[in-house]
Amino acid sequence: MGIFDPWAGFGVTFNTMFRKTFTQGYPQKGKEKVTMPRFHGRHQLNRWPDGLEKCVGCELCAWACPADAIYVEGADNTDDQRFSPGERYGHVYQINYLRCIFCGYCIEACPTRALTMTNEFKLADDNRRDLIYTKDELLAPLISGMEQPPHPRRLGDDEQAYFLGLPETGQPDTRTPAQGAAK
């Protein structure tokens, strides 16, 4: 039995030697690679349903990053310049993809679920400066019903109404700025 173990390894090698890979003909073939749902790709800074940013500038993601790839500077919101519903927001947010190891520790550390990872995997570039993503490149796009910050809270008069109006965990937030707080 032990004498045939090398042949089993050769069989695996022989079977995979002639298999076509994803990279053959890429990108001319037009077939996009389908990633698994939990794939760790490019980061995204999420928004509340009225367009305000979820990031509160706490810097926990930067502290959790083992590669020191994240830089965050927090700033205070004012009544005239409100970027997030809380007291603070992430004024400067950068992720250096030359250092990032896509471990996901930053996602786990985020208390507001402001930072998530998308399935986007095409991050190659020929310029090192373009691989340092800024807040503008990381923010989720505005969708219907959202307003570009800075603006006042649209989903409640105060923080308690804003956050307590959220649906149960695991349910999508379907509130729109016109509806106001749910409770």
Q: Does 65 show up as a binding residue in the annotation?
A: yes
Measured between alpha carbons, how far is 84 from 109 in angstroms, rounded to an integer? 19
Q: What is the pLDDT of residue 97?
A: 96
Q: Does 58 show up as a binding residue in the annotation?
A: yes
Q: What is the pLDDT of residue 183?
A: 40
Q: What is the pLDDT of residue 16?
A: 81
Q: What is the pLDDT of residue 131?
A: 96
Q: What is the pLDDT of residue 155?
A: 79
Q: What is the pLDDT of residue 152?
A: 86
Q: What is the pLDDT of residue 129?
A: 94
What is the full per-residue pLDDT of the chain (183 aa) written as tens digits? 556 677 777 888 888 887 777 666 666 665 667 788 888 999 999 999 889 999 999 999 999 999 999 999 999 999 889 999 889 999 999 999 999 999 999 999 999 999 999 999 889 899 999 999 999 999 999 988 889 999 888 877 777 777 777 666 667 777 776 554 444
Q: What is the pLDDT of residue 83?
A: 95
Residue 103: exposure state from Cβ atoms within 10 A (0-12, 13-18, ≥19): middle
Q: What is the pLDDT of residue 145?
A: 82
Q: What is the pLDDT of residue 86?
A: 84
CATH fold of the domain at 31-141: Alpha-Beta Plaits (3.30.70)
Q: Does 36 show up as a binding residue in the annotation?
A: no
Q: What is the pLDDT of residue 41?
A: 92
Q: Does 183 show up as a binding residue in the annotation?
A: no
pTM, 2 dp: 0.74
Asked if 112 contacts 56 with a C-beta cutoff of 8 angstroms, the reply is yes
Q: What is the pLDDT of residue 180?
A: 45
Using DSSP's 3-state secondary structure scheme, residue 3 falls into helix
Q: What is the pLDDT of residue 161?
A: 74
Q: What are the two backbone dihedrals, phi and then psi, of residue 9, each rounded to the nearest 5 degrees?
A: -65, -40
Q: What are the two backbone dihedrals, phi and then psi, of residue 31, each rounded to the nearest 5 degrees?
A: -85, 120
Q: Does 110 show up as a binding residue in the annotation?
A: yes
Q: What is the pLDDT of residue 38?
A: 86
Q: Does 79 show up as a binding residue in the annotation?
A: no
Using left for φ > 0, alpha for ψ between -120 and 50, and beta otherwise, residue 156 falls in: left
**Contacts of residue 34, Cβ cutoff 8 Å, sequence gap at least 6:** none
Q: Does 26 show up as a binding residue in the annotation?
A: no
Q: Does 100 show up as a binding residue in the annotation?
A: yes
